[in-house]
Chain A
């Protein structure tokens, strides 16, 4: 039962009692009023009876008519009043009133007809007897009226006494019941609150498995149930939390093991101040233990050249929550070693705070190795450049020797052979020159090389210094082992054109186009000379030049075609290959 219901019951009882008391008092007041009305009427009755007695005596004394009318009026009033009075001796009054009337009528009869009563003494005696009768009866009425008044007053007194007693009869039990109810109610509430408090204390003491038992007061029962539910949920939550914590601890342990065992840097820092770092990271910073690094600023370890950039990266991550790409920073570690660490950072939450997680890979050894490798390559490149330079110089010497020999030879055919040999050697020397002047010793740019070869050959053939070269070439670089055969083939083709094609040509032009189609190189040589002789078969031609061309074409595994259009056209194409070994060997 709820407190509200109990209070309502008590209030209802109190209100009911008040209503009962009100009706009881109203009823009693009505009864008292009725008694008072009777008293009032009795007083009026007494007064009228007394006046009737007086009027009777006056009539007897004086016999006036006005006394008669007064008497009857008073008698009627007396009868009327008596009729409305509830006399205790009702019969007395009812019997007395007619007796009075009869006696007075007798008096009136005697007074009105004195002749019928000639004996004066007898007449007076009769009148006295009648008067005595009236007086006696009026005394009865007065006595009855007085008794009635006394009785009514006693009734009023009794009513008032009873009223007090009955009010007490009503009030005392009700007050007692209400007091008992309140007492019981109070005890129930206190008991209920004690049980509730005891249960709440158990729960607040951490005993979430305990349940508050059923409580008599419904509101407290609801609170108890709410506490029970709360305790149940708390216990469940705690169980869940404990399970989660165990899982988290296991994960953390695993994570810590992973982090600790990670050879790379794993670090968490806020505004650059290190909050967490693994052992590997600590070692990268030149410390034995992570605790020695925690609290230090990462920027204090950064090389001065990278300080500003690193600061900006930190701000970028913290402000824009963006990941920053990996970058190698140079650390001036505590142990005096400069380390190169490739770091990569991302924004995270660390104990509720914005932080940065940075992972780093120690590249110091690798960078040292690369530096040493670069130095070795540089050294070898220098050596190779020197070799190419010396080869070129040697070839230049050979070429020069052949040029000198040519001046000594009068035979034009020999001179031509020497010139061609000179050109071939120059072409090879030119390749070495191109290589050692190049940064890349493995590839040779065909455009410049062909232009230089053409220029060299045109210088050698003074009569054809007006030959124009049109280059329609993509910038293609070839491995030296393919560039040399290509250069020698073109060298032979250019010399051949200078030697045989432009005898009757005004505007001499050689067009070389080189294009690359995927990995295949297509080369087209064309002149506007007189073209190939009829029935020319390059495979049957046994000249040295064609032999060289055929041999080199075969080495390149190229397909060669020679035909006439507006002059001689030679095309060949081959696959680009990264061929190892010496170019010279290809000629063999």
Chain B
């Protein structure tokens, strides 16, 4: 009777002792992973939190974040072998696939292995009122700043289509977001096609002179985790660990939104108040959805129709790597098979 009673008690004590004595792996034991991110993008919140809160470490990863202006730079870094994983929107991906000169070198085989967020209305078109712009059609003949090769291309094209504005009636400049922000504030351009939180910063700078041009064709961008096929095949465990850490970070965001905004602010340099105003526009959730495929295909078709693509053949499905997601978050896979 007494022995039967003490066996489970002893088992529990031993478990507590073993767990209590368990230590985090030493830094030297961690797998080094370099990740290309967009340093000012709010959609990177989970990455920052996983980094700061030690979720990467817990998964045995020594993650180094490479901060870029956009995902288009990050994916190029991926192709250049500078990073192991690149966070990027769908447009640079489609560009890489459909436009042979998008990447100057030989395009390596790569994979999308996760969607990381849902975002809404983060793309904005902000204009200077003193340029005589009161409504969307007023941008005709104006100087427009656009970050080419990014999702903003697709977004701005939809805007023009909606408002029946010919592209050739505009004076379009290819500018990074920072360049646009400075240019519109300085009056070098009249309209900036950008995304949050840059648009809010511009609005703050222009004050009453700022005007957001609305569209019914809002755009919900993707934020994709990509890696080279060779890397994925060589390090399947790292991708799973990476997703596992991101999932833990996303749960942390749900559980500690205020703390998460603080961390995000510390990484992006954006004030917590600005982050708070657009906080509900982004949901942090891992997935591999049919919508992602549709969106990729839509943009592929858009590129073909606009003669941006130099091929009409595409098979987006071949760029999807499901295994890591299947292991970490199988419910997130909603791709129709």
Contact surface of A with B, Cβ cutoff 8 Å: 88-89, 91-92, 94-96, 99, 102-103, 105-106, 116-117, 119, 122, 125-126, 129-130, 132-133, 135-137, 139-140, 142-143, 146-147, 150-151, 154, 183
**Closest CB-CB distance, B204 to chain A, in whole Å?**
23
Q: Hey, which bits of chain B sit against chain A, CB under 8 A?
A: 1, 118, 120-121, 158, 161-162, 164, 216-220, 280-283, 285, 287, 289-291, 294-295, 298, 302, 305, 331-332, 334
Asked, given contacts A91-B281, A122-B161, whether A99 binds B334 with beta carbons under 8 Å apart, the answer is no
Give the nearest-CB partner of A119 in chain B: B164
Contact between chains at B217 and A139 (CB < 8 Å): no
- Determine if A143 and B218 form an interchain contact, defined as CB atoms under 8 angstroms apart: no
Contacts of B334 in A (CB 8 A): 139, 142-143, 146-147
Instruction: For B289, list chain A residues within 8 Å (CB).
Output: 139-140, 143
Q: Are A89 and B294 in contact (CB under 8 A)?
A: no
Of all chain B residues, the one with the shortest Cβ separation from A117 is B164
In the A-B complex, list the 6 residue pairs whose CB atoms are closest, starting with the nearest.
Answer: A139-B291, A95-B120, A102-B216, A106-B216, A143-B334, A92-B118
**How far does the alpha carbon of A154 sit from the alpha carbon of B158 in the complex, in Å?**
40
User: Assuming A95-B120, A136-B294, is B161 touching A129 (CB within 8 A)?
Assistant: yes
Tell me the nearest residue of chain A to B297, going by C-beta: A132
Contact of B331 among A92, A102, A130, A150 (CB under 8 A): A150
Residues of A within 8 Å of B295, CB to CB, are 136
- A122 to chain B: closest residue by CB: B161
- Measured CB to CB, the closest approach of chain B to A152, in angstroms, equals 11
Contact B283 A99 (CB under 8 A): no
A143 contacts which of B216, B282, B291, B302 (Cβ < 8 Å)?
A: B291
Main secondary structure on chain A at its contact with chain B? helix
CB distance from B194 to the nearest CB of A (A): 19
Kindly list chain B residues whose C-beta atoms are within 8 Å of the C-beta of A103.
216-218
User: Which residues of A have CB within 8 Å of B281?
Assistant: 91, 95
Chain B residues, Cβ within 8 Å of A91:
118, 120, 280-283
Note all chain B residues with C-beta closer than 8 A to A88.
Answer: 285
CA distance A99 to B334 in the complex (A): 21
Known: A102-B218, A136-B220, A147-B334. 15 other contacts (CB 8 A): A89-B283, A89-B285, A91-B120, A91-B282, A95-B220, A116-B164, A125-B161, A126-B162, A130-B217, A136-B294, A137-B220, A139-B334, A140-B291, A143-B289, A146-B334
CB proximity of B311 to chain A, nearest CB, Å = 20
B151 to chain A, nearest CB (A): 13
User: Which among B121, B217, B282, B290 is the interface contact of A129 at CB below 8 angstroms?
Assistant: B217
Report how far A216 CA is from B252 CA in the complex, Å: 57
Question: Complex: how many Å from CA A89 to CA B120?
Answer: 13
Give the docked Cα–Cα distance between A150 and B332 (Å): 10
Q: Which residue of B lies closest to A106 (CB)?
A: B216
A125 vs B298: C-alpha distance in the bound complex, in angstroms? 11
Whole-angstrom distance between the Cβ of A182 and the nearest chain B Cβ: 12
B75 to chain A, nearest CB (A): 22
Q: Are B287 and A133 within 8 A (Cβ)?
A: no
From A92, A99, A106, A135, B162 is in contact (CB under 8 Å) with A106
Q: A89-B285, A92-B118 are in contact. Are A140 and B217 (CB under 8 A)?
A: no
If the complex has contacts A91-B281, A99-B218, are A154 and B331 also in contact, measured as CB distance less than 8 A?
A: yes
Cα distance, A135 to B220, chains bound together (Å): 12
